[in-house]
């Protein structure tokens, strides 16, 4: 691994106008990172990357690098781009256990973080380093959010998230697992107990429906539910997946590893919404992709599809008289997710849009004073790195708000 990383690092042209940085949603200082590594200062390189992105160890594994940093590398125009992800992973892995955990001087101000996904962890770390007394509320038994319960083990080893938990505890963050805000405790309870600011990063865990006949049958499941705990499901040998995004790919590759013999992904258009690299990996694993098909009904025997075409306006159009039953032991629907409404339904003054997503300004302020939000609960399903990038700005806004109101 080390030889590969060094060789890749030496291929970097150290461009004056690095397009790799432009392609990175969080503007990782890639050329400086690489040159610092090559100069023999790997710890300094790690500190640089972690300061910019507290989840660099995760992002180096799960980012869509072909569309981001590596996809913008100038060497990729005529050949292979620098494998930036491997370099960042090597540096981040080396640095993680070196992260300074010295006692941070507390400022006596409490902040609550609801949700321990990418957004919640990012803000918790950034505010804790500034001296805030942070409590992280997680509705499940383990931290990680979508990283733990939505990304398969073969893409992101969960031991990494266990290491993050240890880091959070070491820098003084309190964690309350199995605690749903909007259940026994409400937002108002948190304000009553002295939290100066509250962050909501609860993600999107409510599956979107197809709204077709047969969706409630016993062999039909939703992607986000399946990925939460695949071992709870007996899918049989033939699996049909409706939808072709990244979650659908993760479901397909996981199902094959759990014993499914035939896994097919069906898409309404002629391409998959997932990244090219993810599609290629899925095909290598044995996943079949079927395009220009739209589901019209689910039966006990399988799914009835109709053929589609794209009209002159780019819209999907059903071709009449093309219905066909595709046999399946199980069906998984993967057409995105929306937020649950437990917090909103128990909190006054917190506005959401028609999709149930939190309404915020550019700094993540919600419509109720002292409450901030970011991540998927604001944007809908996005990538880990996009959640981290947005959350950095929100952490700064929360810091400014708490300092301005600390004596109020």
SS3 of the chain: CHHHHHHHHHHCCCCCCCHHHHHCCCCCCHHHHHHHHHCCCHHHHHHHHHHHCCCHHHHHHHCCCCCCHHHHCHHHHCCCCCCHHHHHHHHHHHHHCCCCCCCCCCCCCEEEEECCCHHHHHHHHHHHHCCCEEEEECCCCCCCCHHHHCCCCCCCCHHHHHHHHHHHHHCCCEEECCCCECCCECHHHHHHCCEEEEEECCCCCEECCCCCECCCCCCEEEHHHHHHCHHHCCCCCEEEEECCCHHHHHHHHHHHHCCCCEEEEECCCCCCCCCHHHHHHHHHHCCEEECCEEEEEECCCEEEEEEEEECCCCCEEECCCCCEEEECCEEEECCCEECCCHHHHCCCCCCECCCCCECCCCCCECCCCCEEECCHHHHCCCCHHHHHHHHHHHHHHHHHHHHHHCCC
Looking at 63, 96, 129, the residue that finishes a domain is 96
Within a 10 A sphere around the Cβ of 345, how many other Cβ atoms?
Answer: 9
Domain shared by 82 and 128, yes or no: no
pLDDT for the residue 404: 94
Task: Confirm whether 87 is domain-assigned.
Answer: yes
Task: Confirm whether 152 is domain-assigned.
Answer: yes
Domain shared by 215 and 195, yes or no: no
Task: Residue 322: give its domain's CATH number.
Answer: 3.50.50.60
Domain shared by 14 and 83, yes or no: yes
Domain shared by 314 and 381, yes or no: no
Domain shared by 276 and 189, yes or no: no
Task: Confirm whether 104 is domain-assigned.
Answer: no
Looking at 96, 118, 144, the residue that finishes a domain is 96
pLDDT for the residue 381: 84
- The range of the structural domain enclosing residue 36 comes to 2-96
Domain shared by 146 and 166, yes or no: yes
Q: What predicted TM-score, i.e. pTM, was given to this entire model? A: 0.93
pLDDT for the residue 258: 96
Domain shared by 294 and 355, yes or no: no
Looking at 71, 96, 121, the residue that finishes a domain is 96
Task: Residue 51: give its domain's CATH number.
Answer: 1.10.1060.10
Domain shared by 234 and 187, yes or no: no
Domain shared by 141 and 24, yes or no: no
- Pairwise CA distance, residues 149 & 117, whole Å: 10
Q: What is the mean pLDDT of each run of 10 residues along the chain (408 residues)?
A: 81 95 96 97 97 96 93 94 96 93 87 96 96 96 95 96 96 96 93 96 90 97 96 97 96 97 97 91 97 97 97 92 97 90 79 88 94 91 92 96 88
The alpha carbon dihedral of 315, 319, 325, 326 has a sign of negative
Q: State the total domains in the chain.
A: 3
Pairing of strands 316-318, 293-298: unpaired
- Pairwise CA distance, residues 335 & 318, whole Å: 18
pLDDT for the residue 3: 59
Domain shared by 308 and 217, yes or no: yes
Task: Confirm whether 29 is domain-assigned.
Answer: yes
Task: Confirm whether 133 is domain-assigned.
Answer: yes
pLDDT for the residue 340: 78
């Amino acid at each position: 691994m080390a030889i590969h990383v060094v060789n890749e690092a030496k291929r970097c042209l150290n461009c004056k106008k690095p397009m790799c940085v432009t392609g990175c949603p969080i503007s990782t200082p890639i050329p400086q990172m690489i040159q610092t590594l090559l100069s023999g200062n790997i710890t300094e390189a790690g500190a640089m990357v972690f300061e910019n992105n507290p989840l660099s160890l995760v992002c180096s594994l799960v980012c869509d690098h072909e569309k981001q940093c590596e996809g913008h590398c100038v060497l990729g125009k005529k050949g292979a781009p620098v494998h930036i992800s491997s370099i960042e992973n090597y540096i981040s892995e080396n640095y993680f256990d070196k992260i300074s955990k010295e006692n941070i001087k507390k400022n006596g101000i409490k902040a609550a973080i609801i949700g321990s996904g990418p957004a919640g962890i990012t803000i918790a770390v950034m505010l804790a380093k500034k001296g805030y007394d942070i409590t992280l509320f997680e509705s499940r038994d383990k931290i990680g959010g979508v990283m733990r319960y939505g990304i398969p083990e073969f893409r992101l080893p969960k031991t990494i998230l266990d290491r993050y938990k240890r880091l959070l505890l070491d820098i003084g963050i309190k964690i309350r697992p199995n605690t749903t805000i909007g259940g026994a405790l409400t937002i108002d309870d948190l304000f009553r107990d002295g939290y100066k600011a509250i962050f909501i990063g609860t993600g999107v865990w409510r599956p979107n429906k197809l709204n077709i006949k047969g969706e409630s049958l016993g062999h039909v499941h939703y992607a986000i539910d399946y990925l939460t705990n695949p071992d709870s499901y007996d899918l049989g040998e033939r699996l049909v997946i409706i939808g072709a995004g990244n979650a659908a790919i993760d479901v397909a590759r996981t199902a094959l590893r759990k014993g499914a013999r035939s896994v097919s992904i069906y898409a309404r258009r002629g391409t998959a919404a997932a990244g090219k690299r993810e599609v290629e990996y899925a095909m290598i694993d044995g996943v079949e992709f079927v395009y220009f098909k739209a589901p019209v009904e689910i039966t006990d025997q399988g799914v009835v599809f109709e053929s589609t075409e794209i009209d002159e306006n780019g819209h999907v159009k059903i071709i009449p008289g093309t219905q066909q039953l595709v046999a399946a032991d199980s069906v998984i629907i993967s057409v995105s997710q929306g937020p649950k409404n437990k917090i909103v339904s128990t909190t006054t003054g917190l506005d959401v849009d028609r999709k149930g997503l939190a309404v915020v300004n550019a700094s993540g302020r919600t419509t109720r004073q002292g409450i901030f939000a970011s991540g998927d609960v604001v944007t809908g399903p996005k990538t880990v790195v996009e959640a981290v990038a947005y959350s950095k700005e929100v952490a700064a806004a929360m810091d400014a708000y708490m300092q301005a109101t600390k004596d109020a």
